[in-house]
Chain A
Amino acid sequence: MWYYVQGVLALAMINVISVVGLAVFTGFTGLFSLGHAAFIAIGAYTAAISTYFYEVNFYVALLLGGLMAGLVSLIIGYPTLKAKLRSDYFAIATLGFGEAVRVILENLDITQGARGLPGIKVYSTFPVVLIVTLIVIYVARNFVFSRYGRMAIAVREDFTAAEMMGINLFKVRLRSLFFSAVCAGVGGGLFAHYISFIQPSMFTGVQSTMLTAAVVAGGMGSITGPIAAALIFAAIPEVLRVANMWRLVAYGFILVAIMVLRPQGIFGYKELSWKTFSGLVRKTSRAKGGAA
């Protein structure tokens, strides 16, 4: 039983890594990416190919995957962000980028095309995944609370005003995109070495949309909210194993319902912290005291 829970948790945490990256990008700059599965794919393939064909150390391979995803994000990010595309255009450009990456992966020799790479060694054990996830969350937290994070928030709230305050829009956005792509790449590397088989059809636009869904449902502009949402999203299908087909139907429904009923997301702009919990405890105890 514990073995099974561990497996579910490990996949959930791998998902969390990419979601945290995207939370930093979408939640803090307000730009929408529909192609982040491509960065996961690039990270997964780079790391897998490094350990599979070149027998690189696993941790080095993870970093390489993250770095490669980051570099590729500059290729798409530099021109599109430089041109200051409005968010719809940017979303569609990333959508196209994601599809293009998948087509290229399907047609390269080293990725073995659509057949995929089987037999990748399983290095992503539960403790490894846990530690990497914690590191990523810690770095993301520092990123958000740093000067860069504050600049990103300013850009999201009102980019014209932010620009007038002397913030370089392009730099802030590109930096956030780079960071999120590195996270996605690392997540992809872990993923490849966890389930030991990857093929291009695993990294579709649906996955990109799911990542964005987790960020939105968790609350844009929060780190802990999307983490909680990503964990919940990963846990629900396991609980409702029978309703596997209806899982995505429910996701779509939840997404619309959140937008209609609670557009700030489950947690809004707030961060979950010990304070939230202690606040909750205090409220409930006070309520009890009042009743007595």
Chain B
Amino acid sequence: MLLQTLVTGLAIGGIYALMAVGYSLVFSILNFSNFAYGAIIMLGSYIGYFSLVKFGVPFPVALVLTMAGASLLSFFNERIAYSSLRKRRAPSLYFMISAMGTSIFLENMVYATIGSSFMAYPEIFKQQSIRILGSSIGLLDLFAIIFSFVSIYVLHYFINNSRTGIAIRAASYDSMITQINGVNLSRLIGLVFVLAGALAGISGIFLGMKYMAYPTMGWITNKAYIAAVIGGLGSLPGAVVGGIILGILESLVSVYIASTFRDVFSFSLLIILLLFMPAGLFGKYLEEKV
């Protein structure tokens, strides 16, 4: 029973980790909370739904389409809502408000055009499950775990080993000096948003398969922010750890206490953790820059 709960927690935790990594990636460069990220994930979920149902493409193609679509959205989000703020060196508060505006805009755009109904994905992974170590795990969950961790690893490898990855790490440390050293910061930030958008697309399609696609998926993408804060904003390993902790905690609370109070527990965990570790588990940003 316990093992079963842990596996279920790991499956949802993997998706949380994916969302938290994308969100944290943007934070590490621009140093603000991109609240529009949830809306991008939600739209990713819709792109996945429409490409699977309306265009009837096979799942791998749908996944690629979703990643591409969400990347594009994320890129334009930055160019329209943030880039002029960035050039003006606006305080991070303004970025946050702009992000919130984008999120309200996109979410209600979906309401106004597509409607508020729940879109159920077709059954791609059969409801069968595999038995591992005496606990059963659904095929979808297993695939979500594997795919989440593989994509996080690929991103990790890219950031640590490629030239562009080095530039991203340098920019997250000091964007001014990076620019002086000949990095085109504007292009780099565009790329970071594209990467974050791709992760949003993957998590969107998995969330859609697990919980259906609907305009207010925001409540679950809030978990991405919480996971990222638990791990420490701006830290990618932190985001992964935060996502997994949150996923496992939630499934433990759902099974052993009450599923209705699941969210109360995750928020309490967040607040209690912040009291003792104000920068999260692996965070490096304790104070705001004045």
Contact = CB atoms under 8 A, between A and B. Distances in A.
Nearest to B112: A245
Contacts, number: 149
B102 interface: yes
Contacts of B85: 259-260, 263
Given A93-B271, A213-B100, A104 B264 contact: yes
Nearest to A245: B112
Contacts of B268: 100
Contact of B101 (A80, A106, A159, A256): A256
Interface stretch (B60-68, B119-127, B280-288): B280-288
Interface stretch (B6-14, B139-147, B154-162, B217-225): B217-225
B130 interface: no
Contact of A89 (B94, B108, B267, B274): B274
B266 A259 contact: no
Contacts of B105: 249, 251-253, 255-256
Contact of A260 (B81, B100, B233, B290): B81
A92 to B, nearest CB: 5
Contacts of B271: 76, 79-80, 93, 96-97
Given A99-B267, A103-B264, A205-B218, A87 B93 contact: yes
Nearest to B234: A88
Nearest to B88: A263
Given A99-B222, A259-B85, A87 B98 contact: no
A115 interface: no
A29 B38 CA distance: 27
Given A104-B264, A209-B100, A249 B81 contact: no
A235 interface: no
Given A30-B93, A87-B93, A248-B104, A103 B112 contact: no
Contact of B97 (A82, A160, A247, A255): A255
Contacts of A260: 80-81, 84-85, 98
Interface residues on A, range: 35 or more
Contacts of A160: 290
A97 B104 contact: no
Interface centre among A99, A104, A205, A252 (most CB of B within 10 A): A252
A30 B95 CA distance: 13
Interface centre among B104, B108, B111, B280 (most CB of A within 10 A): B104
Contacts of B107: 248, 252
Contact of B98 (A80, A205, A255): A255
A96 B267 contact: yes
A84 interface: yes
Is chain B's interface secondary structure helix, strand, loop, or mixed overall?
helix
Contacts of A159: 290
B14 to A, nearest CB: 21
A88 B97 CA distance: 11
A260 B183 CA distance: 25
Nearest to A76: B271
Interface residues on B, range: 35 or more
Contacts of B33: 88, 91-92
Contacts of B225: 92, 95
A110 interface: no
Interface in A230-250: 245-249
A249 B96 contact: no
Interface centre among B101, B218, B261, B270 (most CB of A within 10 A): B101
Contacts of A255: 97-98, 100-101, 104-105
A216 B275 contact: no
B213 to A, nearest CB: 19
B121 to A, nearest CB: 25
A259 B97 contact: yes
B128 interface: no
A80 B274 contact: yes
A86 B106 contact: no
Contact of A259 (B98, B267, B275, B278): B98
B288 A87 contact: yes
A245 B80 CA distance: 23
B5 to A, nearest CB: 21
Interface of B: 27, 32-33, 80-81, 84-85, 88, 90, 92-98, 100-109, 111-112, 218-219, 222, 225-226, 229, 233, 260-261, 263-264, 266-268, 270-271, 274-275, 278, 280, 285-288, 290
20 contacts: A76-B271, A80-B271, A89-B274, A89-B280, A91-B96, A92-B229, A96-B267, A96-B270, A100-B264, A103-B260, A103-B263, A159-B290, A209-B100, A212-B100, A249-B104, A253-B101, A255-B105, A259-B90, A259-B94, A263-B88
Interface of A: 30, 32, 76, 79-80, 82-89, 91-93, 95-97, 99-100, 103-104, 106-107, 158-160, 205-206, 209, 212-213, 216, 245-249, 251-260, 263
Given A88-B33, A100-B263, A257-B101, 14 more contacts: A83-B274, A86-B285, A89-B280, A103-B260, A107-B261, A245-B112, A251-B105, A252-B107, A253-B101, A259-B90, A259-B94, A260-B81, A263-B90, A263-B94
